[in-house]
Structure 1
């Protein structure tokens, strides 16, 4: 692993016997990295560099983000943020809604427990307030430490872990499914996910997909690496032309129910929705130490934090597998924690809407539809146009 605890490229794709294939993979990877860096720098800096009005102000309209409108009048928007400049996507859509009073609920999809990121965040927050005086930004932080850091940087923040958004209606125990695997790991193709830590597990199911962090040649090499590891390891996704396809949430839940334990192997990310999906499905969890907040809902009775070593991960999986804790017990104890925090957030949102001048009665039920709907991606222009159009057609929820 590298200095940040992530997988090296060699650990991801495994040994390459052919010198030509290795040269091709490394060339494709370096080209992909250079292109990725250019896109990253442009997306990170452009929204802050553009004028607030005029023809050049629209150059960031193609930036993609996820946004969900909780209320149109008053305007309350939930949106994930991430990266080295977490507010870049908020600026892109905020510029198009500058004339409207709005509150943005910001969900960190990657940990903000990074001092250099929070330092920039403080400066960007001051710039945003000066530029868009009708807007209010509220961070829904995944950990208490994240909340403390954001508050110290001048932000408004509450502790509200984003795994509250995972749907217990989709992810649940299926009593008629037999266990075929010692563990399941739901992790995208990424050096942050450290799949190799699971390779010592005897029977393992992978759920994996690409979001373009590697070139396609690298994705294919990674898939071959997983396939060659053991005849008792299986990739649950459909594979077409050497690449994995998507699984519907219900299919993902079915795979969970075929496993005894869920795995969380990254060193840092966000709160990791899969960790909550496992628990909702009634699976115990083996995790490595991590930043990001996935351990907020863990319980030592059915969760083990193991060292990032394949043998340690295998031993922890076997320990939890052999405990054979009933799925309903894990699910019900998790839901008790989740519902208490959901109630706190619901009360907070009711008070917020009242402060914003809403004429609606206080919320009586959980207002979020689940992570899939919350993460509907579109460009900043598309989201803003839709908000403007729908806002004239209806009021409130």
Structure 2
């Protein structure tokens, strides 16, 4: 098969995996030139390109995102590449992936590689092929750009140990929020095997960090993905699973991917995709759990779902109106972080500024706080919302943004 055709098939097949962000990688670039002018090493994680993956400092890191093959021995009902799917199959050789990565880098299209694969022959064979790509890039070609490898459940621990030596990040997809859902839609997969692999990776990552002279091992950590809306798991179950993964395995990120209907789908799958806003609300709730001190049960509604019309922090505040208004000149950091519209940066600015003077509405405006969302919940020396405003039945309607301007901030 022509290489361009393979690339078209296997790049398209990889688009369903959302867990390809490059957050957390080391800042690396080609070393100083050798005598004669040739640079040591090839590639960089610092440049910008045509990519949608972002590092914590805002750098955009371009990734060639492909599958090694879309052939798979498993028949997961939600997967377009499942064994029984009537899709065109393709497979790269190790050399083809290496050559494509280098060629795309030299053309300034990419700064790194995200490589996943369907399972062919066995977990060990597939994992060995994936590792060979990263090993060749690093050792044979001195590639110093970002590499993210998708690991295979139940692959030999020795292969996982080798993968971490060459990859910046490793990930293994849990796929569905609950074991019951996985048993129903992907009976060949074992959630316990996925967690065993996560535990192995956590152990090796922590060992490498603890020992100064140890070889670097997946320095950007590990991540996973869950498909949302393929089974009947509610948002609370999804977030509870995420909280457990963050706590037990120190994952860097859990990614949420809304289920997309596929051709010739099983009757056990939904006939239509869930609202994309549900995926977005889960990301917001995930952020509140990790950085704002919220628990799963605080964030979700009584029915176990997130409010699609409101961001989770605003929805929580409306359910707890008795805690407001907060005096910005007296409230604690934790209380301010729970106020709609106030992010971590704004809260730190408030805490710093109020050490020197009592804050007014104009001060909040200069801090670029979204006053339309925040003021009903805050009091300053020149503003105190009437109790009747917080108690107003239409407050929710007033704070819900128009459909085309749904607020993204927390």
TM over 0.5: no
Greater C-alpha Rg: 2
Higher normalized strand content (fraction of residues)? 1
What is the TM-score when the length of structure 1 is the normalising length?
A: 0.29
What is the TM-score when the length of structure 2 is the normalising length?
A: 0.28
